[in-house]
Amino acid sequence: MSSERPFNIQRIDHVVLRVQDLPRAVHFYRDILGCTVARERPSLGMVHLHAGESMIDLVSVNGPLGAKGGAAPGREGRNVDHLCLRVEPFDEAHVRAHLEGQQLTLEGPAERNYGAEGDGLSLRLRDPDGNLVELKGRSSDCG
């Protein structure tokens, strides 16, 4: 039997987040961050969003899929540590102004963080369910 893997990981395909208020979460990811709705599946309490080449799936904690996860995410417990979205262009002042204009609070100044492309600046904020979202710019390792 060959020990060679028959595949190579290319990128994150999708992340599934359990949310307390599906319309509020869709508003955040679509209207504030710029994701686009790919498909809505009301029978599952689910909305699929395009996030560049990847997907973010939002499932209501009260829907058939979300209920399987137990209690809703909140300050006492989370369903994920954070989600990092690679954004372009990354102009800290413009990104900060946009988010603060939406009455969102950023968790500190831009910091250099390591990601799929290497080190690059990023800003962090919370979505309506308290999930930490990192918006990451181009890596200094990329041209």
CATH number assigned to the domain comprising residue 40: 3.10.180.10
Rounded distance between C-alpha atoms, residue 35 and residue 99, angstroms: 15
Tell me the C-alpha to C-alpha distance, in Å, between residue 5 and each of 1, 8, 12, 47, 55.
11, 7, 18, 33, 25
Mean pLDDT for 44-48 is 94
pLDDT in tens, 71-86: 887 777 667 768 889 9
- Tell me the residue length of the chain: 143
Could you tell me which residue, 67 or 94, shows the higher pLDDT?
94
Tell me what pLDDT residue 2 has: 52
Report the domain count for the chain. Answer: 2
Cα maximum dimension of the chain: 58
Report yes or no on 108 lying in a domain: yes
User: What residues make up the domain containing 116?
Assistant: 80-143
Closest CA to 106 of 133, 78, 143: 133
Question: Does residue 91 sit in the same domain as residue 62?
Answer: no
Report yes or no on 27 lying in a domain: yes
Rounded distance between C-alpha atoms, residue 17 and residue 66, angstroms: 9
Last residue of a domain, one of 67, 98, 116: 67
pTM comes to: 0.76
Report yes or no on 122 lying in a domain: yes
Report yes or no on 3 lying in a domain: no
Report yes or no on 72 lying in a domain: no
Question: Does residue 89 sit in the same domain as residue 128?
Answer: yes
